[in-house]
C-alpha cells in the first residue's frame, strides 16, 4: 500500500520534472538563437555603416540619425507608465519580464565581470515613499527629471563611442574593428578598478594582459598590411576602434555609478526611459553639428539618397532597438556568461564576410582575436561560478528549483519602472 502510494506520487513528479527539463532545454536553444541573431545584426550593421561611409556619407550624420532613433522608447515608456498606473494590479502586466533593463545590466555584468547579484536582492524592494528629495515619485519610482539628468551625463560619451566606432570602419576592416572593440571590457575593468573600487583578481589581471597582447598583435599586423578599397588606413582605423572602446568603457562605468541597486533603497528606474532621453538629448545636443555640416556643404542632408537613408534608419532600428531586445531575451533564456561568450561569434562571422568581400584576415588577426576573446571571457566570468558546486547540488534537491532556472526580474516588458535585474 505504501509502495503504491509513493509510486503514484513519484510518477507525476517525474513527468513534471521531464517537462520542466524539456522547457528549459527549449528556452536555452531559443536563447542561443537570439545570441546568434544579435551577433549577426551587429556584424551586418558594421558592414552597412562601412558601405554607406565608403559611398560618401558622413560618419557623424550616421551616428546622429541612429542614436536619435532611441527617442522611440519615450512614447513606449509613457504608454507603459500609463498602463501600469491604470492597470498595475493585473497579473498579465505584473508577470511580464523587463527586457530593456537586461541590456544595461548584462553589459554591466559582461564588461565589469559582475555575473549576478546577491540573493538578498530577491527580496521585495522597500522604499521610503514620499521621499521627494531623493528624486522619487509617490510610488518610489525615479522622476523624469532624475532619469533625464543621468541620460544627459552619459549622452556625450555614448555619442563619441558610436562616432569613433563608425569612423573606424572608414579606415579598417570589420574584422579588426570587431576584435579591437571587444577590448572595451578591458578598459571598463581598468576604469572601474580606479574609480569604482572594482575587485582585483589574478584571473582578471591575466585576462587584461591577454586583451592587451591581442590588441597589440592585431594593430601591428594591420600596420604592416597594405591599404585596400575598404581599409584605406588600417592603423588609423585600429586606433579609432580603441578610442571607441575607451569611450564605451566610460559610458558603462557612468551607468554603473549612477543607476541604483535594489539593496541601496534608491528607487526603481526605467531603462526604456533612460534610452529614450538618451536619443532626445542626442538629437538636440548634436543637431548644431549636423546643421553646420549641411550649411557648409560638407554633408548636405539632401545629398543622402533614399536608399542610403533607408539603410541608415534600418541600421538604427535593428542595431539600436531590436538587438537590445534580443540581447535582453538571450540573457533571460540562458545566462549572462553564456550570452557574453556567445557573442564572440562576431569575430568569425566578420572574418567570413570580409573574406568573401576580398579582405581575407591575416594570420596575426586570428592570433590576436584568440588572445582578445580569451581575455574577454576571463574578465567577464563571474567568480561565483567557481564556488557554487556545493550550492548547486543543494538547490537541485529542492522541488521545482534549479541553479539553471532563468533569472527573474521585477517589472514589465517595456522596462517602465525596472528594479535591478537578477541575472545569474
| Residue 421 clears pLDDT 50, i.e. is over it | no
> Residue 419 to residues 84, 89, 130, 154, 263: CA-CA distances in angstroms?
15, 17, 18, 20, 10
What integer pLDDT is reported at residue 194 of this predicted model? 78
The contacts found for 256-264 with CB under 8 angstroms, 24 or more apart, are 256/108, 256/112, 256/192, 256/196, 257/195, 257/196, 258/150, 258/153, 258/154, 259/104, 259/150, 260/420, 261/117, 261/121, 261/420, 262/117, 262/121, 262/125, 262/419, 262/420, 263/118, 263/120, 263/121
pLDDT mean across residues, the chain? 71
Integer angstrom CA distances of residue 396 from 101, 126, 254, 389, 401? 28, 30, 37, 11, 6
Question: Contact 311/61 with Cβ under 8 angstroms?
Answer: no
Rounded Cα distance, 193 and 380, in Å: 14
More confident site: 365 or 305? 305
SS3 312: helix
pLDDT at residue 280 in the model: 95
Domain segments of the chain: what residues?
A: 21-121+128-397
Distances in Å between the alpha carbon of 76 and those of 117, 148, 274? 28, 16, 12
C-alpha distances (whole Å) from 305 to each of 52, 296, 308 are 10, 19, 5
Residue 238 scores a pLDDT above 80: yes
What is the per-residue pLDDT for 63?
Answer: 92
Q: Measured between alpha carbons, how far is 280 from 189 in angstroms, rounded to an integer?
A: 29
Q: Are 189 and 247 in contact (CB under 8 A)?
A: no
Give 136's strand partners.
Answer: 142
259's torsion region: left (phi>0), alpha (psi -120 to 50) or beta?
beta
Q: Give 413's pLDDT tier (boundaries 50, 70, 90).
A: very low
Chain centre distance of CA 104: 6
Q: Which residue has the higher pLDDT, 366 or 335?
A: 366
> Please, are residues 413 and 95 in contact by the beta-carbon 8 Å criterion?
no
| Residue 240 or 234, more confident | 240
* DSSP track, 248-264: HHHHHHHHHHHS--GGG
Q: How far is Cα 60 from Cα 13, in angstroms, rounded to an integer?
A: 59
* Size of the chain, expressed as the number of residues it contains: 424
Query: Please, what sign has the CA dihedral across residues 263, 247, 424, 391?
Result: negative
**Rounded distance, CA 297 to CA 181, Å?**
32
Sheet strands (E) in 227-367: none
Predicted confidence at residue 405, as pLDDT, reads 39
Q: Is the pLDDT at 59 greater than 60, yes or no?
A: yes
d(CA 310, CA 17): 49
Whether residue 202 is predicted with pLDDT greater than 70 in this model: the reply is yes
pLDDT (tens digit, 9 = 90+) per residue, 376-405?
777 666 555 555 444 433 333 333 433 333
Query: Which range has the worst mean pLDDT, 123-137, 338-352, 379-393, 398-412?
Result: 398-412
Q: Global pTM?
A: 0.68
In this structure, are residues 268 and 142 in contact, taking their beta carbons and an 8 Å threshold? yes
Three-class DSSP category at 184 = helix
Provide mean pLDDT across the span 64-72.
91
Residue 215's pLDDT is 73
Instruction: From 342, 407, 369, 23, select the one nearest 182 (Cα to Cα).
Output: 369
Going by C-alpha positions, the residue among 244, 269, 283, 245 that lies closest to residue 70 is 283
Neighbours of 419 (CB within 10 A): 22
Amino acid at each position: 500500500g505504501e509502495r503504491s502510494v509513493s509510486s503514484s506520487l513519484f510518477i507525476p513528479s517525474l513527468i513534471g520534472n521531464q517537462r520542466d527539463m524539456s522547457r528549459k532545454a527549449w528556452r536555452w536553444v531559443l536563447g542561443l538563437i537570439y545570441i546568434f541573431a544579435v551577433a549577426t545584426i551587429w556584424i551586418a550593421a558594421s558592414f552597412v555603416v562601412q558601405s554607406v561611409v565608403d559611398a560618401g556619407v558622413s560618419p557623424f550624420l550616421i551616428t546622429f540619425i541612429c542614436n536619435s532613433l532611441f527617442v522611440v522608447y519615450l512614447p513606449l515608456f509613457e504608454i507603459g507608465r500609463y498602463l501600469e498606473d491604470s492597470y498595475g494590479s493585473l497579473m498579465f502586466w505584473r508577470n511580464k519580464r523587463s527586457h530593456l533593463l537586461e541590456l544595461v545590466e548584462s553589459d554591466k555584468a559582461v564588461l565589469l565581470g559582475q555575473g549576478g547579484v546577491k540573493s538578498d536582492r530577491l527580496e521585495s524592494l522597500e522604499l521610503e515613499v514620499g521621499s521627494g528629495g531623493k528624486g522619487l515619485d509617490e510610488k518610489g519610482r525615479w522622476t523624469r527629471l532624475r532619469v533625464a539628468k543621468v541620460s544627459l551625463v552619459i549622452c556625450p560619451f555614448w555619442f563619441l563611442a558610436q562616432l569613433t566606432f563608425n569612423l573606424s570602419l572608414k579606415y579598417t576592416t570589420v574584422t579588426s574593428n570587431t576584435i579591437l572593440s571587444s577590448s572595451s571590457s578591458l578598459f571598463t575593468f581598468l576604469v572601474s578598478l580606479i574609480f569604482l573600487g572594482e575587485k582585483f583578481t589574478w584571473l582578471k589581471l591575466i585576462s587584461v594582459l591577454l586583451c592587451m597582447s591581442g590588441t597589440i598583435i592585431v594593430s601591428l599586423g594591420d600596420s604592416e598590411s597594405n591599404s585596400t578599397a575598404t581599409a584605406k588606413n588600417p592603423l588609423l582605423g585600429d586606433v579609432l576602434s580603441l578610442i571607441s572602446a575607451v569611450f564605451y568603457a566610460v559610458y558603462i562605468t557612468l551607468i554603473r555609478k549612477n543607476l541604483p541597486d535594489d539593496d541601496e533603497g534608491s528607487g526603481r528606474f526605467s531603462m526604456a526611459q533612460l534610452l529614450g532621453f538618451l536619443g532626445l538629448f542626442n538629437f538636440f545636443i548634436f543637431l548644431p553639428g549636423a546643421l553646420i555640416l549641411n550649411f557648409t556643404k560638407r554633408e548636405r542632408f539632401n545629398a543622402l539618397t533614399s536608399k542610403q537613408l533607408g539603410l541608415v534608419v534600418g541600421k538604427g532600428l535593428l542595431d539600436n532597438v531590436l538587438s537590445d531586445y534580443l540581447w535582453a531575451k538571450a540573457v533571460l533564456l540562458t545566462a549572462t556568461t553564456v550570452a557574453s561568450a556567445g557573442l564572440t561569434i562576431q569575430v568569425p562571422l566578420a572574418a567570413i564576410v570580409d573574406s568573401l568581400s576580398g579582405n581575407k584576415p591575416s594570420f596575426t588577426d586570428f592570433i590576436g582575436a584568440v588572445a582578445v576573446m580569451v581575455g574577454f571571457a576571463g574578465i567577464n566570468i563571474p567568480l561565483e561560478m567557481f564556488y557554487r558546486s556545493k550550492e548547486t547540488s543543494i538547490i537541485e534537491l529542492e522541488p521545482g528549483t534549479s541553479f539553471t532556472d532563468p533569472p527573474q526580474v521585477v517589472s514589465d516588458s517595456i522596462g517602465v519602472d525596472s528594479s535591478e535585474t537578477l541575472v545569474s
